[in-house]
Each structure stands twice: as C-alpha cells, then as structure tokens.
C-alpha cells in the first residue's frame, strides 16, 4: 500500500516533544545534576544473581519486552530475571512493595512517574560513575528526555524511548463520506468538521478519550497547544504553575482545550457501546479518525489486519499550525529502593539496563521512537521497515 512515511512522522514527533519540553507532566525539566565523573573501568558481575523486573507494559508491548528479557538471560547466564509485564494497578502495588520492604529490583515506568516515586523514596539514584562504567553517556540520548529523567539534581532513570500522539485516519471511510483523504485536517476546526461530516448512523467521524489516563494526556496536549497560541493571554497554561503548587488550567486556554474535546464527544455520538473499543471500530470502518499513539501500529498496521490497507497516519491537528505542540513522554528504566542495597544485584541490574539500551532497536519494533540518538541515526534503524508503514 502507499501511505506516509514514519520517518517524517517520527521526526515531527521528536521536534514536538522538544518544543513541549517545559510542560509539567510531559517532559518536566528539573535542575540538572552533573553527569560527568570518571569510572574505574567496566562493571563486571562477580557472581550469579536473581532479579525481579516489573513493567507497566501490557498486550503486545509486554510480550515483546518479555521476549527481550528472555534473550538477555540467554546471553547472560549469570543473571536470572523473573519478569512481570503489565503489572495491574502498578502505581499502588509498586509503592506498597517498597513500603513492605520487598520491591522488585528493576522497574520500567513512565517518565511522568519519576517525581512521585522519588518523593515516596521508592527509587535509587543512578550515580554518574555507574552510568559511565556501563557506557551510558548523556550525549548519546535526546537531551530533552535525558534531562527529564532527573529530579532535584539527581538522575533516577535511563530513558528508552519517546512516544507521542499522531493522527490516524481510515482513508476509505473518509473517501466514502465525501471528503478528500489527501486534505488531512491541520487545525482543530478542520478536524471537527471532518468528525461531524463523517458521523452518520453507526459510523463515528472521530473519538477522544473519555476514561482512563488518556483523558489527561489528551487534554494536556490540547492545553499546551492553546497555550502556545496564547489563547486569552494564557501562554503559560499547564496542569500546574511553575512552582507546582496550583492548578493552571482554569483559564481561557484550558476552557478552549476542554471545549474541543467536548465538541467531538457530542458530535460523534460518544461514548461507544459497552465492550466496544476504538480499534475495533476503526477496523470495521466505523471510526474515521483519532489522535493516538504509535503503539497502535502493532495492530492497525499489521499487513494481515483488516484496516492495514486503509490506515493513514499524519501530524496531529493543531490549534495553531504555525506553533505546533503535542503530548509526548518516555518509557524509562529505574532501580527500586530496597531496604538494603545488594551490590551484586545492583551490578546485575546495570548490566541488564545497558543490554536494553544496546538492543533498543528491537524495542522500537513496538512502535516507539528510540531515545538513544545513536540508534535513531544508525543505518540499522534508518534503513529498516520500522519507519515506513507498508
């Protein structure tokens, strides 16, 4: 099939992530601690260790990470890992495990969790010397994401990827609805027009999140767009004020961001019937468009899938296309804080984190953009089919 290039899409996503870097809860910049410091040579495992690894990854993402973990233990027989992917109610269970003195050794989390977990004394700092000894260097990573994994001058995580929202649309449904699939909406108003005109009978022109964490992510993306457009003079609108003490969306930018979500919700006959998901409707040619993340390409872009031939991906509609912005965040790997640090386990954990970084190309097959610039620029990535939805 013919469609847009993921290369252009992901490059745009990276630029937006950088442009939105000051957004609280997106890529929150903290005071930067020093990441220099000489190591005394590579860290080496002295004895076999057993590690427990928890992640927030479910579905196809969790399966891929489980397979990668199994590959690591096959290559590194001195480390055994009991990995639990897609831990239900992760935030509560992880903090509870730390309080109980029995946390996992390694956790795969979202960048937005760092501050909260640090304040709950749930994560161990990653020392510059240790990072240097396993070859994890700041200059190899996207700098916005690298800085975002610091909190109050200390580093607690290693970034693995960047993932942000894009615009997905069903070309056949758009065309059959009397619209030109080549004229993709670039503004909120244009998207709302599409959504309204494509909604008829059991077909919906668009959807927005109306439950779960997606509401926050989606609203935050729209809020920052409205702020960048200086709607009502609210150019600093965000979830919180710069000092983190007050809400900062009860303003014209916040009202406008919520209004576009409400308009799509009302005009597209949302919510969906019980038990019906957006991807199901998209594959059934009953959902014309949505703003969503690249992880959905695992299913929608599957050549054997019912929607692959009609799937198109474009840049997300903007409040002001001249000042683009959108929600993006990062998956990161951290060490949980135990009652007493076991140096052998810590060494084994760093060895695994280093391995994950070295094999992040495999993880990018899940639809995420590598945070490691070296991998991103490599021939292996640039010439792979990961960048082109065929």
How high is the pLDDT of residue 14?
46
How high is the pLDDT of residue 44?
78
Do 49-163+329-387 and 166-326 have matching folds? yes
Question: Where are the chain's structural domains?
Answer: 49-163+329-387, 166-326
- The C-alpha atoms of residue 83 and residue 349 are separated, in whole angstroms, by 13
Tens-digit pLDDT profile for the chain (390 aa)? 334 444 444 444 444 444 443 333 443 222 233 333 334 456 678 899 999 999 999 888 899 999 999 999 999 999 999 999 999 999 999 999 999 999 999 999 999 999 999 999 999 999 998 898 888 999 999 888 999 889 999 999 999 999 889 999 999 999 999 999 999 999 999 999 999 999 999 999 999 999 888 899 999 999 999 999 999 998 999 999 988 889 999 999 999 999 999 999 999 999 999 889 999 999 999 999 999 988 888 889 889 999 999 999 999 999 999 999 888 889 999 999 999 999 999 999 999 999 999 999 989 877 788 999 988 888 888 887 765 543
Q: In this structure, which CATH number among 3.40.309.10, 3.60.15.10, 3.40.190.10, 3.40.50.1820 belongs to the domain 166-326?
A: 3.40.190.10
Q: Count CB neighbours of 274 within 10 A.
A: 5
- What is Dmax (Cα atoms) for the chain? 68
- The C-alpha atoms of residue 306 and residue 285 are separated, in whole angstroms, by 9
Which pairs from 378-382 meet CB under 8 Å and 24+ separation? 382/7
The answer, as to whether pTM is greater than 0.85, is no
Query: What CATH code would you report for 49-163+329-387?
Result: 3.40.190.10
pLDDT, tens digit (0-9, with 9 covering 90-100), for 301-332: 889 999 999 999 999 999 999 999 888 889 99
pLDDT, tens digit (0-9, with 9 covering 90-100), for 232-257: 998 999 999 988 889 999 999 999 99
Tokens (6 digits) for 373: 């610039």
How high is the pLDDT of residue 5?
43
CA angle (348, 351, 353) in 5-degree steps: 110
* CB-based contact 5:95 (threshold 8 Å): no
């Amino acid at each position: 099939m013919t469609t847009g290039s993921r290369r252009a899409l992901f490059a745009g996503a990276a630029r937006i992530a950088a442009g939105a870097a000051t957004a609280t809860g997106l890529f929150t910049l903290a005071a930067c601690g020093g990441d220099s410091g000489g190591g005394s040579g590579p860290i080496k495992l002295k004895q076999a260790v057993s590690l427990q690894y928890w992640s927030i990854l479910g579905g196809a993402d969790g399966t891929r990470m489980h397979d990668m973990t199994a590959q690591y233990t096959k290559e590194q027989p001195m480390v055994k890992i009991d990995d639990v992917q897609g831990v239900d109610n992760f935030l509560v269970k992880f903090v509870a495990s730390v309080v109980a003195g029995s946390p996992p050794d390694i956790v795969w989390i979202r960048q937005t969790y760092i501050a909260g977990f640090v304040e709950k004394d749930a994560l161990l700092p990653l020392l510059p010397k240790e990072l240097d000894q396993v070859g994890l260097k700041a200059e190899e990573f996207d700098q916005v994401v690298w800085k975002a994994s610091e909190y109050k001058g200390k580093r607690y995580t290693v970034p693995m990827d960047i993932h942000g929202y894009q615009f997905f649309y069903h070309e056949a449904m758009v065309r059959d609805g009397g619209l030109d699939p080549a004229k993709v909406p670039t503004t909120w108003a244009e998207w709302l027009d599409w959504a309204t005109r494509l909604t008829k009978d059991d077909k919906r022109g668009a959807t927005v999140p109306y439950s779960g964490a997606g509401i926050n992510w989606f609203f935050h993306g729209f809020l920052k767009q409205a702020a960048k457009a200086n709607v009502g003079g609210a150019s600093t609108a965000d979830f919180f004020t710069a000092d983190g003490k007050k809400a900062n969306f009860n303003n014209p930018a916040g009202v406008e961001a919520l209004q576009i979500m409400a308009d799509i919700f009302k005009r597209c006959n949302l919510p969906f019937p019980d038990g019906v998901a957006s991807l199901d409707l998209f594959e059934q040619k009953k959902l014309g468009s949505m703003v969503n993340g690249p992880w959905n390409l695992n299913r929608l872009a599957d050549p054997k899938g019912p929607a692959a031939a009609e799937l198109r991906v474009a840049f997300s509609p903007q409040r002001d296309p001249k000042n683009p912005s959108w929600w993006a965040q990062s998956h990161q790997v951290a060490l949980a804080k135990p009652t007493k640090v076991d140096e052998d386990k810590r060494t084994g954990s760093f060895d695994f984190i280093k391995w994950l970084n070295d094999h992040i190309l495999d993880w990018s097959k899940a639809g995420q953009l590598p945070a490691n610039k070296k991998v991103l620029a490599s021939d292996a990535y640039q010439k792979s089919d990961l960048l082109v939805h065929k």
